[in-house]
Amino acid sequence: MSMTSDEVNYLVYRYLLESGFTHSLFTFQAEAAIDKSTINGAQVAPGALIRFLQKGLQFADIEAHVNPDGTERHCVAPFGLIGRHTCLLVSHERAAALAKEATGHRPRRRPGRQLCSRTTPAPPRRRPTSTTTHDQARLALEALARSPHRTRLFTDAGPWPIGGASAAFDPSDPSLQNAVRVLYDHAYATSTAAPGTAAAGNAAAEHDAEVFVCAWHPDGQWLATGHKDGHARVWEVATGACTVLPVAGGATAAAVGDAASGTTDAGGKDVTTLDWNADGTYLATGCYDGLARLWSASGTLRATLALHEGPVFALRWNPAGDLLLTGGVDRRVVVWNTAGEPRQQLVCHALPCLDVAWRTNDTFVTCGADAALFVCQLGSPEPLAALMDAHASEINVVRFDPSGRYLATASDDQKVKIWDFSPDTPWSPLEHTREVYTLCWAPQPVEGRRLLATACFDATVRLYDVDRGLAAMRGATGPAAAAASRAALQAQCRAHRDIIYALAFSPDAAFLASAGFDWCLHVLNVRD
């Protein structure tokens, strides 16, 4: 283990950059000679300094509260970075009572049935850390980088090999404009927009913050994006115009407003997730403020869903479009109807719930930071099945393919796993070079191929033909697994300059949208 002053200086530099301390950043950058550093910034995850501080605080907490014989002292006093810690000890029974009171529910029995056929031992009980899950989420989200606003097309993107042939990929090449459309900087969009679209001064329309999530409208003409500034934007893909939504009957209306406050005034709340229902009549948004909101197609706020006690990390409509599933940092999963009324809530995970996915209109799967998967059914008070160690690290995303048979999961362990719900066994994992944050299935086959798109922290979009090498991926290990992963990889593109946080196929699977930390949203032509 080694650590250099240059590495420490770069972490401080990134912290100042991500926190928006512009003047301090300028001075420190000059004094620490950051411009002369050989450190590759793309390999430094957002919030790295905060993460190391959190880890150090957790280890210090454990060190202070574990006895020489390995038993644990039940301390209820706060443990922080500053000041001397003095333990306030309570009995084991009192600690259990306090935990029960804090969570608001009885200790749950883990379901015995496993998602896969192999025997999975129960995980060791996690000791709660001194930093609450809400604080962890706040620190992580506040650490997301506010990189300088870029409004130019990138001209040094990496290769996009298709069918084994590698070709130079240049988004600024005029001949590729039908294949790639970069929707960037709303000032450009509004300066070329037709009369009737939102004005450039509309606070709900200005594109001045990171893109966290995106989702296609079912008709394929509109793309909704969620941003750091608390706004949800809807883009007309054909023209690049922003903030215009289709209304029943073919009319148009103004933009979705501030997704964090229900107004058109920027509230500074991160839009962490969003999703259209099946017929496009509702757009649901989830925010760091702990609220989910339902918007009509005309941009009117229909309902505010207030039941979570922390940021909402995931929400999904069921296939029928009449039930909304939400999951958040409070470990809670809630099912809502279109009137904004809760139908059911479950608490399964030991750590925050990070994503949810419907399999049918009444069954769904959840994943979390505890590396666990739970299969649940509407009306059942307990999960139908559980897999406690589906990955070696937290699971960021779960997605079913259109048939509902295959479940894809992506994790910080740099792997994507595909689970076959027929024999309940995973295929060999699709290996990546960095943490995998998001993935999505093509909603329909492309030229007879079942496609899966993934994006990891190396700023690369990868496209897999899942049916190709299907047999080789089942149960393969070692070199055979790596070969199967390479065989399934059909294309990869590094069109972004920074981490990709969102992927979405158009309803006809002809286009793939990607958005991320570089303030850009790219639309790739998949069929061509």
Residue 148 lies in a domain: no
Residues 270 and 337 grouped into a single domain: no
Q: What is the DSSP letter of 351?
A: S
Residues 442 and 331 grouped into a single domain: no
Task: Of 372, 353, 389, 383, give the one whose Cα is nearest residue 111.
Answer: 383
Q: Number of folded domains in the chain?
A: 4
Model confidence at 119, pLDDT cuts 50, 70, 90, reads very low
Domain that holds residue 382: 311-389
CA distances in angstroms from 243 to 199, 224, 246, listed in the order given: 9, 9, 10
Residues 364 and 397 grouped into a single domain: no
Residues 104 and 47 grouped into a single domain: yes
Tokens coding 321? 């479009």
Residues 375 and 406 grouped into a single domain: no
Residues 274 and 316 grouped into a single domain: no
Residue 142 lies in a domain: no
Which residue bears the tokens 């920027």? 266
Distance CA 182, CA 518 (A): 12
> 10: domain CATH number?
1.20.960.30
- Give the angle subtended at the CA of 490 by the CAs of 489 and 495, to the nearest 5°: 100
pTM: 0.57
CA distances in angstroms from 351 to 4, 161, 185, listed in the order given: 33, 39, 37
Which pLDDT value is given to residue 469?
55
Residues 291 and 384 grouped into a single domain: no
Residues 352 and 398 grouped into a single domain: no
Residues 191 and 300 grouped into a single domain: yes
240 pLDDT above the threshold of 90: no
Domain boundary among 69, 87, 118: 118
> 383: domain CATH number?
2.40.10.480
Residue 373 lies in a domain: yes
Which pLDDT value is given to residue 487?
59
Residue 173 lies in a domain: yes
Residue 124 lies in a domain: no
Domain boundary among 361, 389, 417: 389
Which tens digits make up the pLDDT trace of 68-90? Answer: 888 887 776 778 888 777 776 65
Residue 397 lies in a domain: yes
Residues 275 and 363 grouped into a single domain: no
Model confidence at 474, pLDDT cuts 50, 70, 90, reads low
Which pLDDT value is given to residue 82?
83
Contact status, residue 219 vs residue 238, Cβ threshold 8 Å: no
Residue 154 lies in a domain: no
Domain boundary among 339, 355, 389: 389
Distance CA 2, CA 277 (A): 50
Which tens digits make up the pLDDT trace of 188-225? Answer: 333 333 333 433 333 233 345 567 777 888 887 888 88
Beta pairing partners, 514:
503, 522
351 pLDDT above the threshold of 70: yes
- Give the angle subtended at the CA of 138 by the CAs of 27 and 290, to the nearest 5°: 140
Which tens digits make up the pLDDT trace of 358-396? Answer: 999 999 999 999 999 999 999 998 898 888 888 888 999
> 208: domain CATH number?
2.130.10.10
Residues 330 and 447 grouped into a single domain: no
Task: Of 252, 250, 253, 258, give the one whose Cα is nearest residue 233.
Answer: 258
Residue 99 lies in a domain: yes
Residues 328 and 283 grouped into a single domain: no
Which tens digits make up the pLDDT trace of 425-453? Answer: 555 557 666 788 889 999 888 877 888 99
